[in-house]
Chain A
Amino acid sequence: MPVSVDHSRLIYDALKACGVGLVSALPETWLVHLIRMAEDDPEMVLVRLAKEEEGVGVSAGAYLAGTKSAMLMQNHGFLAAVNGIVSCAQLYRIPLLMLISHRGEFGERDPWQTEGGGVTEHVLQALRIPFAYLDHPDHVTHRIRKAQTLAYSANKPVALLLCRDLMWEEAS
C-alpha cells in the first residue's frame, strides 16, 4: 500500500509534540499508518468511532476535562460530522483539531471518492472553519502546531487537509 509511512510518522510526531493525548479515528486508506501509530503508542488514547460525528463529542469531553485531542477522518467523514461541529463545537466554543484526508482531488482513481473532494473546501468555508493544506513534508510540523494554536486561542474548530502529494507515494 503506497501510503507514506514516513509522512504519516511526521504528522504523528507533530501531534505528539503539540501535546495531543487523545485521537479519535475512523479508518480510511490514507490514515492507516496514523491509526496504527496511535494504537501502538501507550501514551495515546485512541478512540475508534462508528461514525465521525461521535468524535466531536469525544473531543469536546476530553478538552473540557483537560486533554488535547485530534480527529482523524476522511472528507466524507467530515461531511458526516457537520451537525456535531456546528451544534456542539461551534455553539460551545470548543477547539477541535481536525485532520481530514482530502480524497477526490486530482489523481483520485476511486470513482466513489470524487464528489466529496469537490465540496470539502466549500463546506469548510461556509462553516467559517480556518483550514490549510498539508501537501509537503516541509510544512507539516509547523502547520499542525499553528493550527492547534489558533484552535485554542479562538476556541473553535480548525482543519488541516491531508493531500495526496503528502500521503500517497505512488509514482504517477
Chain B
Amino acid sequence: MLRLDALKAVYDRLQDRVVITIMGAVAAELQAIGHRPNFFYLQHAMGLASSMGLGVALTRPELSVIVFDGDGSILMNLGGLTTLARYCPRNLVHVVFDNESLLSVGGFPTATSTGSDIAGMAKAAGIPRTATVSTLDEFVRTFDEALSSRELSTIVAKVDAKGPAGFVTDLALLENRFEFQRWLRKSAPNGTSHPKP
C-alpha cells in the first residue's frame, strides 16, 4: 500500500475534522492532495503530533480529531501511547503510517523493520481499538469503523517506503498554524471561545 493512496482514499472524510500530521512525506502528500484550513502539519517535534491531538481532543470533545503519525515519530513518544490510553478520548483516531524506515532522512530502517509491533504496543498500553492493516481496502474499512465507533483507536497502516520527491512545500509553518487556529476558533460551539489573557 502507498501512503499517498491511503490518504487519497479517506480524503473526503477529512472535510470537517481536525487533522494533525507529522512532518515529512505525510505532510507533503496531504498538501499535494489538497490542503484545508483544518489540517495542521507538525513539521518537527517528532513524537508530539499524537500529544497535540490529545490536547485538542480533550478540550474540544465535540470535534472529531485525526492524527496521521508515523513509525519513526511514535517510536520517539511511546510513553504518549499510555497517556492517550489513560484519558482515552472517544473523538480521536490515531493512524500510524508504518513504512519501517526514517524515509525523509535517508530511509534508515526503524525497529518496526525488525519486528517491533506498534499496534501491539498500543493495545498493551490500553488503547481500546487497535489494528494493523496492509491493504488499501482493509485500511479504508478499519478507518471508517474507527470513526463510527467513537472509541479511541490506533490503526497501524503498513505502507511502502516511498514518498514524494521533496518535503518542503510552499505553505509556511506559521501561516498553517494561524489558519488552523482560526478554523478551530470559528468551529467553537459559541464561535468566540478563544482565550484572551
Quick check: A49 and B83 within 8 Å, CB to CB?
Answer: yes
CA of A64 to CA of B195, assembled, Å: 10
> A21, B59: Cβ atoms under 8 Å?
yes
The number of chain A residues with a CB under 8 A from chain B is 40
A69 and chain B: residue at smallest CB distance: B55
Centre residue among A56, A63, A65, A91 by max chain B CB count within 10 A: A65
- Smallest CB separation, B174 vs chain A (Å): 6
Q: Please tell me the number of chain B residues within 8 Å of chain A, measured between CB atoms.
A: 42
Interface residues of B in 45-86 (CB under 8 A from A): 45, 47-60, 63, 77, 79-80, 82-83, 86
Contact status of A50 and B80, CB under 8 A, knowing A60-B52, A66-B193, A67-B195:
yes
Residue with the greatest number of chain B CB neighbours at <10 A, chosen from A21, A54, A64 = A64
Q: What residue of chain B has the Cβ atom nearest to residue A88's Cβ?
A: B45
* Contact assessment for B51 and A45 in the assembled complex, using a CB-CB cutoff below 8 Å: no
Closest partner residue, chain A, to B78 (CB atom):
A50
- B197 and A153 contact, CB distance less than 8 A: yes
Residue A19 CB within 8 A of the other chain: yes
Contact check, B83 vs A56: say whether CB atoms are below 8 A apart.
Answer: no
* A22 touches B (CB below 8 Å): yes
Q: Which residues does chain A contribute within 8 Å of B121, judged by CB atoms?
A: none
Contacts of A45 in B (CB 8 A): 58-59
Q: Are B180 and A64 in contact (CB under 8 A)?
A: yes
Residue of A nearest to B81 (CB): A50
Smallest beta-carbon distance B157→chain A, Å: 21
A66:B194 contact, CB within 8 angstroms: yes
Structural contact, A64 and B49, CB atoms closer than 8 A = no
Indicate if the CB atoms of B83 and A64 lie closer than 8 Å. no
Contacts of B194 in A (CB 8 A): 66
Quick check: is B44 within 8 A (CB to CB) of the other chain? yes
Tell me, in angstroms, the Cα distance from A68 to B55 when the chains sit together.
11
A51 interfacial by beta-carbon distance below 8 Å: yes
Question: Does A87 sit at the interface, judged by CB under 8 A?
Answer: yes
Q: Are A51 and B53 in contact (CB-based, < 8 A)?
A: no
Interface status of B181 (Cβ within 8 A of chain A): yes
Bound-state Cα–Cα, A91 to B50, Å: 18
Please tell me if the beta carbons of B55 and A22 are within 8 angstroms of each other in the complex.
Answer: yes
Chain B residues, CB < 8 A from A94: 177
What's the minimum C-beta distance from A95 to chain B, rounded to whole angstroms?
9
Cβ 8 A contact of B188, one of A51, A66, A87: A66
Docked Cα-Cα span, A55 to B57, in Å, equals 14
Task: Report which A residues bind B (CB closer than 8 A).
Answer: 18-19, 21-22, 45, 47-51, 53-69, 83-84, 87-88, 91-94, 148-149, 151-153
Would you list 30 pairs from A and B whose C-beta atoms are within 8 A, ordered by A residue? A45-B58, A47-B58, A48-B83, A50-B82, A51-B80, A54-B77, A55-B51, A57-B49, A57-B50, A57-B80, A60-B55, A61-B53, A62-B55, A62-B59, A63-B55, A64-B40, A64-B177, A64-B184, A66-B60, A66-B184, A66-B193, A68-B197, A88-B42, A88-B44, A88-B45, A91-B43, A92-B177, A93-B177, A152-B195, A153-B197
Beyond A49-B79, A57-B54, A92-B177: 15 further Cβ-contacts under 8 Å? A19-B195, A22-B58, A45-B58, A50-B79, A50-B80, A53-B47, A57-B49, A57-B80, A61-B52, A63-B55, A65-B56, A66-B194, A67-B59, A88-B52, A152-B195
